[in-house]
Structure 1
Amino acid sequence: MNSPAEIAKNYVEIGKGKVNTPALKLFILGIMAGIFIGIGGVAYEMATATIGGALGKLVGACMFPAGLGLVLIAGSELFTGNCLLVIPLLEGEVTFGGVLRNWVCVYLGNFVGSTILAFLVAFGHSPSLLDGGLLDVVMSVASGKVALSFGDAFLRGIVCNMMVCLAVWMSFAGKTVASKIAGLYFPIMIFVMAGFEHSIANMYYLMVGIFSNSIYWVGDAAVNLGAALTKNLLPVTLGNLVGGMAIGIVYWYLYLKGAKKD
């Protein structure tokens, strides 16, 4: 197992590779991650619709970590995890412009990937499964997210990405696929159970709700693209940035600041 100090040192090199990746590749890798996280969202909503109640949400939370597992094991770029790029930035190994380029390319790719998956699910009429039970969950989740106040969405976004970045950090402690998945599993399960807000997962939840709203004539006027962007994704993304960068800054300070470089 890698120690926290080894993880911090290793992430500097990992981060340099991320920042130096060509923009088109970052965008495509971002698309893949958007799809992968969306798959976790599909699992969550299916479990909730199939089982129902608190138990359904618990089972869904237990299944959702498969999304981040796909991101880290199969290979892709996730905006929320990449908030840890503050570590090589503080070490002076990358520029702010390079980090910003990564964030923008990956975030846009994540949105495209999430939207592609949402389109396939909605227009494949998967929400009609379970006698429309899945549609009820899809719309309930989307409606709940646009109904959050800016402050609630922002604060839930902070805590969420603290846990996501801790999950990524713990996965880097492992040296096998099994140990990496074990490391990331519980922080992700807990953030889903607690109802914290993840911008990339929300891209899927909101877009599948928007598509389903139009396909099935649900008539929920609150679930629309403008509300998705301004009432949820904006505050949640800002919160995710704060929470993720906070984790990166703390670990940089603890394990890299003032340390001798090879």
Structure 2
Amino acid sequence: MAYLAPSEFVTKMVDAGESKIFMSTRDTVIRAYMAGAILALAAWFAVTINVNTGQPIIGALLFPVGFVMLYLLGFDLLTGVFVLSPLALLDKRPGVTLGGVLRNWGLVFVGNFAGALTVAFMMAFVTTFGFTQDPDKVGMTIGNIGESRTLGYAAHGAAGMATLFIRGMLCNWMVSTGVVGAMISTTVPGKVIAMWMPILVFFYMVFEHSVVNMFLFPSGLMLHAKFSILDYLIWNEIPTVLGNLAGGIAFTGLTLYTTHVKTKPSRERLAA
């Protein structure tokens, strides 16, 4: 597997964050667009498997194929740059500013959303034969997901909002661990295995991923599911983005950076 020690791969994380901040606007948006599109296609794939087999674990086992593909191709998800870009700022890399981090986040958000929206339209078109009939079982299932994960949270008020935020945190704890997984090995099989495990956990546990939701919820709206754009933004996307940000930084970025880059001196051994 050619495993890298934590001190090595965390340094790679900081280097990656720095490179993303200085990447051109064109390349940042293209890579984000493709990442959003591939992850959306993987979500469609997983929902199709769930509908056809009735076994969600099978969909969860196979969904990571999209995540693996997009990271092996060097594309970027918002959930990943939420963790990587701030590390370059924290490490005081030359020329890295808060404005640069926010610019990177904004461009990746736009690119991810555009890519996911493209696949959402394609899915809605395919499952309705060009919007000439009601959606098939997969389309209906995606519409139901949108309703249950907006109106379902709203029905619980503040408790629903808190639940949504925490699910977003838990999601990016796992997803950003998958991003790190791409850096802990120098071989393709090693990278694939390390990425696959945490993504399987997040998907099966139905945690909230901002980019996956950029596909699921607009798809539901195109298929006339019974929730509104405002429901989607307030009762899913915005809290999910904030939860993804908090969870990725707190559980993955800061912990790894603090203990493997800014390591405290070892305690002195007591004399026998």
TM-score, scaled to structure 1: 0.90
Find the counterpart in structure 1 of residue 87 from structure 2: 87
Q: Does the Cα contact within 8 Å between 1:199 and 1:233 map onto a contact in 2?
A: yes
Matched, 1:96 2:98: yes
Gaps of 5+ in 1: 214-219
Matched, 1:171 2:187: no
Distance in 2 between the 1:44 and 1:143 partners?
18
Q: Does the Cα contact within 8 Å between 1:90 and 1:252 map onto a contact in 2?
A: no
Find the counterpart in structure 2 of residue 183 from structure 1: 194
Work out the percentage of aligned pairs sharing the same amino acid. Answer: 29
Q: Does the Cα contact within 8 Å between 1:45 and 1:134 map onto a contact in 2?
A: yes
Q: Which amino acid aligns with 1:29?
A: R
Matched, 1:160 2:136: no
Match for residue 26 of structure 1 among 19, 25, 28? 28
Find the counterpart in structure 1 of residue 226 from structure 2: 221
**TM-align CA RMSD:** 1.9
Q: Does the Cα contact within 8 Å between 1:31 and 1:112 map onto a contact in 2?
A: yes
Gaps of 5+ in 2: 154-159, 265-272
Find the counterpart in structure 2 of residue 58 from structure 1: 57
Find the counterpart in structure 1 of residue 267 from structure 2: none
The structure with the largest helix share of the pair is 1
Distance in 1 between the 2:52 and 2:127 partners?
16
1:56-79 per-position Cα deviation (integer Å, ceiling 9, x unaligned): x11111111112112211121111
Q: Which amino acid aligns with 1:244?
A: G
TM-superposed CA distance for 1:231, in Å, is 0.9
Q: Does the Cα contact within 8 Å between 2:127 and 2:136 map onto a contact in 1?
A: no
Q: Does the Cα contact within 8 Å between 2:172 and 2:245 map onto a contact in 1?
A: yes
Distance in 2 between the 1:144 and 1:40 partners?
21
Distance in 2 between the 1:183 and 1:229 partners?
32
Find the counterpart in structure 2 of residue 242 from structure 1: 246
Q: Does the Cα contact within 8 Å between 1:171 and 1:182 map onto a contact in 2?
A: no
Q: Which amino acid aligns with 1:157?
A: G
Find the counterpart in structure 1 of residue 260 from structure 2: 255
Q: Does the Cα contact within 8 Å between 1:38 and 1:117 map onto a contact in 2?
A: yes
Most deviating of 135-144 and 36-45: 135-144
TM-score, scaled to structure 2: 0.87
1:128-170 per-position Cα deviation (integer Å, ceiling 9, x unaligned): 99x9221231112111221222111100000000001111112
Q: Does the Cα contact within 8 Å between 2:33 and 2:112 map onto a contact in 1?
A: yes
Q: Does the Cα contact within 8 Å between 2:167 and 2:208 map onto a contact in 1?
A: yes
Match for residue 151 of structure 1 among 134, 138, 162? 162
Q: Does the Cα contact within 8 Å between 2:147 and 2:226 map onto a contact in 1?
A: no
TM-superposed CA distance for 1:126, in Å, is 6.0
Alpha-carbon distance change, 221 to 137 in structure 1, aligned in 2, over 3 angstroms: closer
Distance in 2 between the 1:109 and 1:132 partners?
29
Q: Which amino acid aligns with 1:134?
A: V
1:152-204 per-position Cα deviation (integer Å, ceiling 9, x unaligned): 11000000000011111122111122211110111111111111100000111
Higher Rg of the two aligned structures: 2
**How many residues are paired up?**
249
Find the counterpart in structure 2 of residue 41 from structure 1: 43
